[in-house]
Amino acid sequence: RCLLKMVKGNIIVPEDILSFCCNGLQGSTSPPRAREPEEREEAPGAMASPSPARNPTEVQMSQLVLPCHTNHRGELSTGQLLKWIDTAACLSAERHAGCPCVTASMDDIYFEHTISVGQVVNIKAKVNRAFNSSMEVGIQVSYEDLCSGKHCSICKAYATFVAQGPLGSKVRLEPLTPQTEEEKIEYSIAAERRRMRLVHKDTLKDLLTSSPQETERETRDGSGAVPAERTRVESVELVLPPHANHQGNTFGGQIMAWMENVATIAASRLCHAHPTLRAIEMFHFRGPSQVGDRLVLKAIVNNAFKNSMEVGVCAEAYGQEMSISRRHINSAFMTFVVLDQEGHPCTLPMVAPEPGDGERRYREASARKKIRLDRKYVVSCKQTEVPLSVPWDQSNKVYLSYNNVSALKMLVAKANWVLAREKEKVRMYTLEEDKFLSFRIEISVCITASRAFSLLSNLRRRHEWDSHYVSAELVQKVDDDDMIYHVVSQKLRNEKKPQDFVILASRRKPCSKGDPYVVAFRSVTLPTHPARDEFTRGETLCSGFCIWPESKEMSKVAYYNQVMPGYLNYVTTNVAGLSSDICSTFEACEKFLLKNKQDLISQLQD
């Protein structure tokens, strides 16, 4: 007993454990005695207090890269990394669901660096948001060099998982409650990412419809074009128990690894070198495969650009009976590059597509490249790195709308808002960050949230309560949720000309209970509305309304604005109490809402 009490290193064996051990040796079955209050204090040098509780769905995985995980260059195989990513994400999803989960889709993945043998891969996965029977899992991947202590980000991914009950039935999920500021931001934006996934195919169709049928072929020095048929690869895999989960369904990560393998072979046949996978485009699993299935994997180079190539991969499944038609499991598009010794991309040979389907895949690859660049440029960038007025066109409308709404939701979820002023029912808050000053102004109004949403999302009526607006012309109705306006405002103090704006207004109804109604504004550019001499062209990076129902007849209306330099003096004057113009404008907004609420009631009574 005395020996057990000894301090070894920095660890002290607690007295209750000692008592339990000694009683156990004597054959006693009594539980350890309760610890007295004075025994809770730790001696100097004892173990550090535990870290704060983390997200219960969070899963952390660390894998040492061994030679069996690497390619000929001693770099981690991307297929192996995809298996680890899918496994960690699935474990996180199952923690929340409490039942088996399967991979439904994976968003774009951009691989920033390669990982060498001997380094450690650290993967962190946690559920961002749960919908009815599906959930979004966010995954962060980094590597750690054990010798130098260096840490570096590899990629960030978002996967969608579906919870499955007995016989493959769907399971209704419990909602997730975010705790930290980061979790609240991811939770809020997850609804926008889900919306973007649902319209992904339509975006490609719209672009192909609006673009010329004949794609302009690039001319390149060197040898002639390589027939795409020469890059074709077909391989079969037998699904064994180690490849599947406890329900017998093949792991999504295993299928992705097999697809990456045949895609790499196809890319190598074009360039006669060892290519590096740079990106995987968003894809969906169309159906499951089980233990005993044969998976046929096909790959071909669809198009080769100057420094990169797109490889299309298809996975089909069939059972022992060949007479049964193959089931389409998944299709994916992977972007490869070939790096020289300095790590710079090499010029690739051109591809000559096959007539018919080959020509179609060639055109679609060009369209996907444009969409991929739009998505990476507008969606994946940090908010402060996105130009203010991004050119709007039909192909990037989904991503600009996503950026517009997600920017406002990120601003709403910030935790450091400070009450700056309060005038009667109007409250004004500020948020000071390194690059921006933002303000929020809110008020509770006796009106339904849906009615307030309808009134405030129509910029053509804003002049009725906001004296700064002169007019707002609807330039283009993109769809029911997105519209582009040309807005003319009053002259600012010390300005000689009035300002005008081209604004994208994006509306969103609540995705689930507790979500607000959202109306987001940001500047875009249109070729039909260039800057004109009679106006000073203004820009807005992030502004808009969020409306929360407080009861059946009461709503909290909040306006957010990330202040641009031209308005900084105006805003700070109001924050400091030297002017009440912003508060007065919002009081006028309340009167406008109440007046039009009564107008609606009168119309219904008539």
The CATH number of residue 375's host domain is 3.10.129.10
Give the per-residue pLDDT at 111.
Answer: 93
- Which residue has tokens 């046949």? 269
Give the per-residue pLDDT at 271.
Answer: 92
Find the mean pLDDT for residues 16-29.
Answer: 39
- Percent of the chain exceeding pLDDT 70 equals 83
Q: Which of 352, 367, 383 delimits the end of a domain? A: 383
pLDDT bucket at 46, cuts 50 / 70 / 90:
very low
Geometric angle at alpha carbon 147, from 143 and 150, rounded to 5°: 40
For residue 139, give the amino acid letter: I
* Residue 502 near residue 484, CB atoms below 8 Å: yes
- The domain in which residue 190 lies consists of 56-208
Give the per-residue pLDDT at 325.
Answer: 82
Give the per-residue pLDDT at 212.
Answer: 61
Same domain, residue pair 354 and 458: no
Q: Is residue 604 part of a domain?
A: no
Give the per-residue pLDDT at 220.
Answer: 53
Element housing 428 (H / E): strand 426-432
Total number of domains constituting the chain: 3
Which range has the worst mean pLDDT, 214-228, 346-360, 467-481, 529-543? 214-228
Same domain, residue pair 85 and 159: yes
Best CA proximity match to 383, nearest among 420, 440, 434: 434
Give the per-residue pLDDT at 11.
Answer: 38
Whether the per-residue pLDDT at 9 is higher than 60: the answer is no
Could you give the CA distance from residue 408 to residue 402 in angstroms, rounded to a whole number? 10
* Residue 316 near residue 296, CB atoms below 8 Å: yes
Give the per-residue pLDDT at 321.
Answer: 75
Give the per-residue pLDDT at 237.
Answer: 96
Q: Is residue 87 part of a domain?
A: yes
Best CA proximity match to 56, nearest among 125, 159, 157: 125
Same domain, residue pair 378 and 389: no
Same domain, residue pair 230 and 188: no
Give the per-residue pLDDT at 396.
Answer: 75
For residue 114, give the amino acid letter: T
Q: Is residue 8 part of a domain?
A: no
Whether the per-residue pLDDT at 207 is higher than 80: the answer is no
What is the pLDDT of the chain when averaged over all its residues? 84
Q: Where are the alpha helices (DSSP H) in 250-353?
A: 252-271
Q: Is residue 112 part of a domain?
A: yes
pLDDT bucket at 173, cuts 50 / 70 / 90:
very high
Find the mean pLDDT for residues 6-30.
Answer: 39
Q: Is residue 38 part of a domain?
A: no
Same domain, residue pair 180 and 276: no
Which range has the worst mean pLDDT, 198-202, 255-259, 333-337, 378-382? 378-382
Give the per-residue pLDDT at 598.
Answer: 66
Find the mean pLDDT for residues 379-393.
Answer: 57
Give the per-residue pLDDT at 500.
Answer: 93
**pLDDT per residue as tens digits for the range 65-92:** 999 999 888 999 999 999 999 999 999 9
Give the per-residue pLDDT at 49.
Answer: 44
Q: Within 10 A of 554 (CB to CB), how many other CB atoms are there?
A: 14
Same domain, residue pair 192 and 99: yes
The answer for 242, left when phi > 0, alpha when psi is -120 to 50, beta otherwise, is alpha
Give how far Cα 308 sits from Cα of 165, 302, 374, Å: 43, 11, 17
Strand boundaries in 192-285, DSSP class E: 226-227, 233-238, 276-280, 283-284
Find the mean pLDDT for residues 102-131.
Answer: 94
Q: What is the CATH number of the domain that holds 389?
A: 3.30.530.20
* Residue 543 near residue 462, CB atoms below 8 Å: no
**Range from 35-39, 193-197, 546-550, 597-601 that averages highest in pLDDT:** 546-550
pLDDT bucket at 291, cuts 50 / 70 / 90:
very high
Give the per-residue pLDDT at 45.
Answer: 41
Q: Is residue 316 part of a domain?
A: yes
Give the per-residue pLDDT at 568.
Answer: 79
Q: Which of 326, 350, 383 delimits the end of a domain? A: 383
Same domain, residue pair 567 and 578: yes
* Residue 210 near residue 394, CB atoms below 8 Å: yes
Same domain, residue pair 122 and 194: yes
Give the per-residue pLDDT at 367.
Answer: 84
Between residues 218 and 306, which one has the greater pLDDT?
A: 306
Whether the per-residue pLDDT at 214 is higher than 50: the answer is yes
pLDDT bucket at 201, cuts 50 / 70 / 90:
confident
Same domain, residue pair 181 and 234: no
Best CA proximity match to 232, nearest among 278, 281, 260, 269: 269
Whether the per-residue pLDDT at 380 is higher than 60: the answer is no
What secondary structure letter does DSSP report for 249? B
Could you give the CA distance from residue 357 to residue 369 in angstroms, rounded to a whole number? 18
Whether the per-residue pLDDT at 182 is higher than 60: the answer is yes
Between residues 597 and 93, which one has the greater pLDDT?
A: 93
Residue 288 sits at φ, ψ, to 5 deg, of: -85, 165
What secondary structure letter does DSSP report for 541? S
Whether the per-residue pLDDT at 206 is higher than 50: the answer is yes
Same domain, residue pair 316 and 452: no
Find the mean pLDDT for residues 57-65.
Answer: 96
Could you give the CA distance from residue 74 to residue 557 in angstroms, rounded to a whole number? 57
Give how far Cα 579 sits from Cα of 65, 246, 425, 470, Å: 62, 66, 17, 21
pLDDT bucket at 203, cuts 50 / 70 / 90:
confident
Sequence-distant (≥ 6) Cβ neighbours of residue 98 within 8 angstroms? none
Q: Which of 321, 350, 383 delimits the end of a domain? A: 383
Give the per-residue pLDDT at 342.
Answer: 85
* Residue 86 near residue 159, CB atoms below 8 Å: yes
Whether the per-residue pLDDT at 229 is higher than 90: the answer is yes
Q: Within 10 A of 39 (CB to CB), how many other CB atoms are there?
A: 11
Whether the per-residue pLDDT at 209 is higher than 80: the answer is no
**pLDDT per residue as tens digits for the range 392-437:** 877 778 888 888 999 999 999 998 899 998 888 899 999 988 778 8
Give how far Cα 388 sits from Cα of 430, 434, 518, 591, Å: 22, 18, 20, 32
Give the per-residue pLDDT at 398.
Answer: 82
Same domain, residue pair 191 and 129: yes
pLDDT bucket at 1, cuts 50 / 70 / 90:
very low
Give the per-residue pLDDT at 90.
Answer: 94
Give the per-residue pLDDT at 14.
Answer: 41
Residue 560's DSSP bridge partners are 440, 544
Q: Is residue 362 part of a domain?
A: yes
Q: Is residue 410 part of a domain?
A: yes
Give the per-residue pLDDT at 25.
Answer: 37
Find the mean pLDDT for residues 313-341.
Answer: 88
- Percent of the chain exceeding pLDDT 90 equals 54
Strand boundaries in 83-181, DSSP class E: 101-106, 109-110, 120-130, 134-144, 151-163
Same domain, residue pair 319 and 455: no
Give the per-residue pLDDT at 223.
Answer: 56
